[in-house]
Amino acid sequence: MWLYCHFPQLQLDNLLISQPEFAKQAVALYRVKNGQSLIEQTNLVAQEAGVSRGISSVMAIALCESLLLKEYEAEKEEKLLSAVADHLYQWAAKLILDPPQGIYLELKSIEKLYGGLSNTVRTLNLAVQQLGFLCQRAVAKNTLAARVLAQANTPLVINKVQAERQLKDLSIKNSGLPNKIIRNCLSVGIFSIGDLLTIPTSDIGRQFGKDTLVYVQALRDDLNIQRANHFYEPSEHFFQQIDLVSEVSNWQGLRFPMKRLLNDLESFLYQRQKAVQHITFQLFQRDNHCTELSVSTATASWRAHSFWSLLQLKMERSPLAAPVLELSLKASEFSQLSAKSQHFFHEAQDTQSLFPLIGKLQVKLGERAVYTPAISDDPRPGFNECRQPPCRSQAPSITPIKRPLWLQREPQPVNLNEWRLQAGPERKHCGWWDSQTIQRDYWLAMDTQHRKGWLFYESGHWYLQGWFS
Q: Which of 315, 308, 294, 304 is nearest to 252 (CA)?
A: 315
Least confident span in 20-29, 228-237, 263-272, 434-443: 228-237
pLDDT surpasses 80 at 160: yes
CA angle 397, 403, 409 (to 5 degrees): 130
Q: What is the pLDDT of residue 111?
A: 92
Could you report the per-residue pLDDT of 40-65, keeping only the tens digit for each? 999 999 999 999 999 999 999 999 99
Q: Which residues of 142-155 are buried (b: 16+ CB within 10 A; e: fewer)?
A: bbbbbbbbbbbebe
Do β-strands 136-140 and 27-33 pair in parallel, antiparallel, or remain unpaired? unpaired
Residue 78 has pLDDT above 80, yes or no: yes
Angle value at C-alpha 367, between 362 and 368, nearest 5 degrees: 130
> Which whole-number Å values give the CA distances from 246 to 21, 219, 249, 254, in the listed order?
11, 44, 10, 11
Strand duo 406-413 + 461-467: pairing: antiparallel
Mean pLDDT, the chain, integer: 86
User: At residue 449, what is the residue type?
Assistant: Q
pLDDT of 361 > 60? The answer is yes
> How far, in Å, CA of 277 to CA of 135, rounded?
35
Question: Under 8 Å CB-to-CB from 406, ≥6 apart: which residues?
Answer: 466, 467, 469
Encoded amino acid at 117, one letter:
L
pLDDT the model gives residue 393: 58
Region for 3 from its dihedrals, namely left if φ exceeds 0, alpha if ψ lies in -120 to 50, beta otherwise:
beta
Is the pLDDT at 95 greater than 90? The verdict is yes
Select from 69, 32, 43, 84 the least CA-distant residue to 267: 84
Per-residue pLDDT of 404-440, as tens digits, reads: 878 888 899 999 999 999 988 888 888 888 888 888 9
Other CB atoms closer than 10 Å to residue 315's CB: what's the count?
Answer: 18
**What length does the chain have?**
469
- Taking residues 231-244, what's their average pLDDT? 89
Tell which CATH architecture fits domain 2-163: 3-Layer(aba) Sandwich (3.40)
Contacting residues for 98 by C-beta, under 8 A, at least 6 apart: 4, 104, 147
Mean pLDDT of the region 10-21: 91
pLDDT tens readout for residues 177-213: 999 999 999 999 999 999 999 998 888 888 888 889 9
Choice among 19-23, 201-205, 225-229, 420-424 with the minimum mean pLDDT? 225-229
Average pLDDT of span 5-22: 93
Fold (topology level) of 238-336: Dna Ligase; domain 1 (3.30.1490)
pLDDT at 51: 95
Residue that wins the pLDDT comparison between 127 and 287: 127
What pLDDT was estimated at residue 430?
Answer: 85
Whole-Å CA distances, 53 to 9, 41, 63, 86: 11, 6, 13, 29
Evaluate if residue 392 carries a pLDDT over 90: no
Question: Inter-axis angle of helices 201-208 and 179-187, to 10 degrees?
Answer: 110
Q: What is the pLDDT of residue 206?
A: 86
pLDDT digits (tens, 9 = 90+) for 101-128: 999 999 999 999 999 999 999 999 999 9
- Percent of the chain at pLDDT above 70? 89
Q: What is the pLDDT of residues 289-310, one digit of tens each?
A: 888 888 888 788 888 988 998 8
User: What's the pLDDT at 346?
Assistant: 45
Burial pattern 183-192, b for ≥16 Cβ within 10 A else e, equals ebbeeeebeb
Band the pLDDT of 399: cuts 50, 70, 90: low
Which residue type does 254 have? L
What confidence score (pLDDT) does residue 348 get?
44
- Pick from 194-198, 285-289, 397-401: least confident: 397-401
pLDDT band at residue 350, thresholds of 50, 70 and 90? very low
